[in-house]
Amino acid sequence: MREKVVMITGASSGIGWAAAQKMAEQGAQLILCGRREDRLKELQSQLDTPSHILVFDVGDKQAVFEKVNSLPDAFSSVDVLINNAGNAHGLSPVHEADIEDWDAMIDSNVKGLMYVTKAVLPPMVQKKQGHILNIGSIAAKEVYPNGSVYCSSKYAVDAFTKGLRIDLNPMGIKVSAIHPGMVNTEFSQVRFKGDKNRADGVYKGLQPLVAEDVAHVICYMIQAPLHVNLADVLLLPNAQASTYVAHRKPS
Ligand code: 8X3
């Protein structure tokens, strides 16, 4: 990991933040991307390795390419891209859902992930080396009630990951995805628009993953030998068997 340039989108909170901390411990040089500059600066101040901040919204195509193309020389050739930015907005049946929520999810989870990947790829293709690691979800594997568009966005991430792996196979560029189940981050609060009670209810009676658990596995995936690709990792809390089945202790 030492000397590697690792770019993380959505680094201003949750899994992205924890991944940045873990990579820094391993000596990686980091490009911290997000929309909240103050949060990225706070993260940067805690890190003990060289880092560079890029403030942009992954769904803003022009900004993605401008920012990636503006990277200083020391950071301009990304070795590992962690496509983490994305979120869920709302949990409603199709006929009741807010169409703005759909746009937000498709723009960041799908189009944003694709834009950032395309922007970062040229030096990887030239070097014939690199690693793209996408943060998917159990929602990329199973569709659940009221999650049609969020699940669609994550199924798209899964399909894009598989297609990218095929396209980049001749160049030896690694492409993988990690699909977490329940992780206690800001995720549910964003999904339920700040309704903390509803968000807390998601994890009631069980021990969910925390961001550091996911970051730990991401680090492991990145540090696998060059000839090894942990291509498709489903990461669940032990209490969760599927999107439908989770063992909760009565309160
Ligand atoms: C987050 C996991 O089950 O809420 O992607 O969709 S879930």
Supply φ then ψ for residue 143, to 5 degrees: -95, 135
How far is ligand 1, taken at its centre, from the CA of residue 127, in Å? 35
Supply φ then ψ for residue 88, to 5 degrees: -110, 140
State the pLDDT confidence band at 32, using cuts at 50, 70 and 90. very high
Contact criterion met (CB below 8 Å) for 29 and 74: yes
Q: Which of 42-56, 132-146, 190-204 has the lowest mean pLDDT?
A: 190-204
Class level of CATH domain 5-235: alpha beta
Taking CA atoms only, the protein residue closest to ligand 1 atom 4 is 182
Q: How far does the chain reach from its first CA to its final CA, in angstroms?
A: 43
Q: Write the pLDDT tens digit of every residue in 182-201.
A: 999 988 889 999 999 998 88
The pLDDT of 72-83, averaged and rounded, is 97
Extents of the domains making up the chain = 5-235
Taking CA atoms only, the protein residue closest to ligand 1 atom 5 is 137
Contact criterion met (CB below 8 Å) for 95 and 197: no
- Which pTM was predicted? 0.96
Rounded Cα gap, residues 111 and 92, in angstroms: 22
State the pLDDT confidence band at 2, using cuts at 50, 70 and 90. low
Rounded Cα gap, residues 226 and 172, in angstroms: 9
In the β-sheet with 80-83, what is the strand arrangement from edge to edge?
51-55, 29-34, 5-8, 80-83, 131-135, 174-180, 232-235
Atom in ligand 1 nearest the alpha carbon of residue 181? 2
Q: Write the pLDDT tens digit of every residue in 57-72.
A: 999 999 999 999 999 9
**pLDDT for residue 1 is more than 80:** no
State the pLDDT confidence band at 3, using cuts at 50, 70 and 90. confident
From the number of C-beta atoms within 10 Å of its C-beta (0-12, 13-18, 19+), residue 69 rates as: exposed
Per-chain mean pLDDT for the chain = 96
